[in-house]
Amino acid sequence: MARYTQRSPYARKVRIVLDEKQLPCELKETDINNKSREFLGLSPIGKVPVLVDENGLVFWDSTLIVEYLDETYPQPGFYPGDRIERWCCRQGEELRELQLFTPRG
């Protein structure tokens, strides 16, 4: 797997899951101010993190990356097993990200 990243809370979230699941990952630092064609070909919104798995699948949203990793590599699990509890957890995760990481005027 390869992870395109820059220091950000979203990239940190993915790194924590990769570390806790002990998944090997090649780290590719990305200059978000000078985006390469390679990077823009992977991330249609031009943001980090981006994860490219061993099958060449590309994921470019931290929440989706964590969900993919948790379903593909279930141990240790990060989300509850129950479907309703899992969706409540994901909804809370989105709310926290909006509250913590969205610039306010």
- pLDDT, greater one: 99 or 82: 82
> In whole angstroms, how far apart are CA 91 and each of 26, 63, 95?
30, 10, 6
- Distance, C-alpha 21 to centroid of its chain: 14
- Convert the pLDDT of each residue in 68-98 to its tens digit: 999 999 999 988 889 999 889 888 888 887 7
Q: Give pLDDT, residue 103.
A: 67
What CATH class is the domain 2-78? alpha beta
Domain ranges of the chain: 2-78
Above 80 in pLDDT, residue 104?
no
Q: Give pLDDT, residue 38.
A: 87
- Convert the pLDDT of each residue in 26-81 to its tens digit: 888 888 888 888 889 999 888 889 999 999 999 998 989 999 999 999 999 988 88
Above 80 in pLDDT, residue 20?
yes
